[in-house]
Amino acid sequence: MSTHSVEVVYRGIFQKHLAQKICRGIVLAAVKEGKRGIAFGRYGDSPERNGIPAKQFAIVADTEEELQISMAQYEPKETDVSIAVDDTLCKGVESWAWYGLQPINKLLKKDGTLLVTSMEEPDALLTMAHSKEVPYHIAVVKGTVSFSGLWVYKDDHTDVRVLGAVAKVAPHLVRIGSVEKAILEEWGDELKVKSARKTYDRAQKHLVAPGTGNPETPYTFEMPKWQEMREGLVIPAIPVREQVEGWDGGYRPGRNPTFKKFSTRTMRPVVDFEKCTKCTLCWLQCPDSCFDITPDGLYDANMQACCGCGVCEAVCPVENCITMVNETAFPDNASQWEAWQKDEDGYRTWVQQIITNRPARSHGFSHVTQYKQELAEMRKTEPAGEVAIINEEPGAGPG
């Protein structure tokens, strides 16, 4: 039996159309080779929220019978290629219908490929991805994260470039000639065909040895068997307040001890405590009650609970007191306030460095026309013809 599958892990709403196009393109290319295929989403009722990790799948089989057998599963249990269209997803993903944090490479079969759109090098991405017991490969499609859907239509060829890379890393699934034919038929654009071919020519797989990556064991638990379930529906309440030793005068709200929201985050707030006036606006306006009130009356964003929405930066009245920084700049979820308490001078230096050298904002815009400014900067740093943008007008619709 010869059935192959691809998953695209994406940010809900922001990248839904991008993920759909990639999976659809894979199936269309497979059909060009006489195979059978289907593309579908992780949820039938599509309960997506802004930034929540979600999945699209593409299944390709040699015969209709093999395809039907695969379709009988709720979702593929292993994949030939796992595609992360936002590199911050390499830290792991969790959504409301999954059980604990899942490594980005969890479904990858032995010798499969993790394909990531990123400006980072493979080694940097592997420090975020959880280690795996079997060898696999990693490949990078160079480019900034393509967020489209709410604010701007960014047709930056991420969809077809990923398709070109898939043909390179998994030719047993689809070949580049079939991908080019499918792109021309689906999009009718020779420039998109060239983008796919260029990425195909440049894509490289890097072998990842067993045990390489983040050694942390993600949270897991045993699901009760039906005969072990309690009668009725019982949801234990979460304490209103968490007792923290040494926090006399401070306040930390009670939170779910197992469900963490940080996998939603593409950016996180960096707080300059020396500039804080204790106005309380970040604490009051945070939609997820992320801020802990410290014993000295400052506000520390809890990085286990923060989903990276950026509301705190928007409402803070003090310039550069709260700054959203790309998630790839951080190795862990440690408390910023505790770091400041231990070494104020060192923390001050760190804040200046991380804000000065921070990667580009990964979603949203801090001011009108920011997107066009980003395009101008990209054209300065890329060789002629490398950046192809079809539509630069804000509000042109989801892409």
CATH code of the domain containing 283: 3.30.70
Position 109 confidence tier, pLDDT thresholds 50, 70, 90: very high
Which residues make beta-bridge pairs with 377? none
pLDDT given for residue 383 in this prediction: 47
In a domain, 215, yes or no: no
Same domain, 202 and 273: no
* Token pair 């802004």 in the structure block, residue: 50
The pLDDT of residue 41 is above 80:
yes
Same domain, 48 and 161: yes
Least confident of 82-86, 95-99, 183-187: 95-99
Same domain, 100 and 242: no
Position 357 confidence tier, pLDDT thresholds 50, 70, 90: confident
Task: Write out the residue range of the structural domain in which residue 190 sits.
Answer: 3-208
In a domain, 327, yes or no: yes
In a domain, 393, yes or no: no
Radius of gyration (Cα) for the chain, nearest Å?
22
The pLDDT of residue 23 is above 60:
yes
Same domain, 281 and 193: no
Same domain, 175 and 238: no
In a domain, 379, yes or no: no
Q: What is the largest CA-CA distance in the chain?
A: 69
In a domain, 365, yes or no: no
Taking residues 86-115, what's their average pLDDT?
Answer: 87
Give the integer Cα–Cα distance in Å for 30 and 5.
12
Which pair of structure tokens corresponds to residue 295?
């014993």
pLDDT given for residue 95 in this prediction: 62
In a domain, 140, yes or no: yes
Same domain, 246 and 112: no
Same domain, 189 and 253: no
As for how many domains the chain has, the answer is 2
Give 359-388 pLDDT, tens digit per residue: 766 665 555 566 567 666 656 655 444 444
Same domain, 187 and 154: yes
pLDDT given for residue 171 in this prediction: 97
- CATH assignment at residue 201: 3.40.920.10
**Type of residue found at 284:** L
Which among 134, 87, 86, 125 is positioned nearest to 107, based on CA atoms? 134
Same domain, 250 and 171: no
Give 342-351 pLDDT, tens digit per residue: 999 999 999 9
**If residue 8 lies in a helix (H) or strand (E), which one and from where to where?**
strand 3-11
In a domain, 367, yes or no: no
Taking residues 278-292, what's their average pLDDT?
Answer: 93
Give 295-354 pLDDT, tens digit per residue: 999 999 999 889 888 889 989 999 999 999 989 889 899 999 999 999 999 999 999 999
The rounded mean pLDDT for the chain is: 85
Same domain, 200 and 274: no
Q: What's the angle, vertex CA 370, arms to CA 85 and CA 313, rounded to 5?
A: 80
Same domain, 202 and 281: no
Which among 151, 177, 142 is positioned nearest to 30, based on CA atoms? 177
Same domain, 185 and 299: no
Taking residues 128-140, what's their average pLDDT?
Answer: 97
pLDDT given for residue 348 in this prediction: 96
**Type of residue found at 279:** C
Taking residues 100-107, what's their average pLDDT?
Answer: 89
In a domain, 71, yes or no: yes
